[in-house]
Chain A
Amino acid sequence: MVLTMLVLACVPTSVDNSADDYLTLRSGPAQLVDDDGVYIGGWWDDFDGTINRDTAQGADGAWKGWIHLNLTTDRYFISSNLADLNSAANTALLIVDRETGEIDSVSINDTFGDKEMTAADDFSEVTNDGNGSTMRMDGTDGLSFALNADALTMEGSATARLAPFVQTSRYHDGYGSLQWWGNVEADAGTTFTIGDEVIDLSGALGTYDRTLGHRRTHQNWNWLSAIGTATRDADGEAVAVSLLMAKDRELARPIVEVQKYNVWVGDTLSKLPALEFEYEYTDEDEKETGDWRIYTPTDDGDWVDLSFEPEYHRRDQEDYLWFVHTDFNQYYGSLSGSMSIDGELYTIESIFALTEDSLLIL
């Protein structure tokens, strides 16, 4: 018990990230981790530096990463990932029928000796020989994939539409993560298969998340992902928008304020200075929520004031002894509201969105 208390005392409640200046876009550093073993935090125009993971002070066992891809059509929402969590590997495919609310989902976990997943150091490629799945980044130009999860499969490729968000988030004592978040459009011939049913995903819009690093043991977050169009108030013109935002919740250790509040309007990526996710549980045991308000609590600069109405909820819980505790909640629904970016006002009227309220202790 004494040892337990010592370990607990080693992880700070929060980290002061102000020195990293996450609101200023800078050139990527030459390496991921500095010579003292600490992650170099910042928002980058690109990152092609050295992935010097062995220099980091963080424990080897904390090195994890994944490639995650979401795609949306008028009828379906699709989520997929290959995640190398060091002592475990996860292959996941999910499809939501937005008309009926029907959800098909397969999540395969392989642990320790059963794990056959391998990943490049920069997570440009992740392969699971156990089920013949692979996801491969083509620089920042797009990605290709072939995923097999029991009766669900997805195969094809997607081309990047906009420059990605690239950031190194610094946690405590040699822990941190490097992420590429980008927008893509599925290429012709991309398909999702449910048993004998083949769904054509050509032209589907989506987002990817390529992440690597020495991850925190206690992760607790809110997430928003939405792609669609907004109306520019000045001239009534419809413009393409994408929102990818994440914020730590109270059980993350340490809690970091790394301002991953991204809005793409047309071709331009902007970051919001602050963001709040505000909602209440209508059934706390089941993690059902009422409507969400997602807004910028400051008056300066860019802001959003959005309302998210959840229509479907998917919960994935996994617990085993001292090893893992997950409570993963995704909400699918419609997002509406207004925002001001670079001095222009925009109105969003009911675009499809995904939000998360999740806890991962691993």
Chain B
Amino acid sequence: MIGIFLLGTALAGTHQLGVSAGGTASAGLKTMIPAYGPDVAAWWSLSGERHGVQVELKNYSLLASQELNHLPGLSVGWSARWGERGYSVLGAGGYLNEVIVALPIVSAELGVELGVGDGDLRIRCGGQGLWVPPTFAAGGGVRLSAVWRL
């Protein structure tokens, strides 16, 4: 089913490239240790009329206990459009870190997409959440993206 969906989306869908910048505040679910900081991403998406896939190269920079840690990684997500301007992305990825081979982070983004002039450039503004399963951490923040339709 997924293969058919991807094939159908690829044939009929729209390719997009995007860059994003945001910020998150999070805390360890057991430890209560806070971590916060910016995140940046470059991504590609293939969208059908309502649904699509989004692949991101992303880096979380998180300040915890006065130490800045960088978590670069790759995330794959499911994107959806809601009405004229609404969008959401639910993704999961693995991120390099000092503890395990790939730290899993589940991310969710929900916001609005606005056009800029008559061109193919669009701006996304949304809220984002992150969850480090199973009970490591959770948090949220905001994210701004510039999107080019190819």
Contacts and interface: CB of A to CB of B under 8 A. Distances in A.
A8 B67 CA distance: 23
A319 B66 contact: yes
Interface string A255-290: 000000000000000000000000000000000000
Report, as a range, how many residues of chain B touch the other chain.
20 to 34
Nearest to A326: B65
Interface in B2-55: 26-35
Contact of B64 (A8, A112, A321): A321
A322 B100 contact: no
Interface residues of A, number: 19
Contacts of B82: none
Interface string A201-230: 000000000000000011000000000000
Q: Is the interface of A mostly helix, strand, loop or mixed?
A: mixed
B138 A4 contact: yes
B116 interface: no
B132 A322 contact: yes
B31 A323 contact: yes
Contacts of A7: 29-30, 32, 135
A218 B26 CA distance: 18
B1 interface: no
B101 interface: yes
A113 B100 contact: yes
B139 interface: yes
A324 interface: yes
Interface string B117-132: 0000000000000001
Contacts of A8: 32
A362 interface: yes
Contacts of B32: 4, 7-8, 218, 361
Q: Determine which residue in B30, B65, B66, B132 has the highest number of CB atoms from chain A within 10 A of its CB, and name it.
A: B30
Interface of A: 1, 3-4, 7-8, 111-113, 217-218, 319-325, 361-362
Interface of B: 26-35, 62, 64-67, 69, 97-101, 132, 135-140
Given A217-B31, A322-B33, 15 more contacts: A7-B135, A8-B32, A111-B99, A112-B99, A112-B100, A218-B31, A319-B65, A319-B66, A320-B64, A320-B69, A321-B28, A321-B64, A321-B137, A322-B29, A325-B33
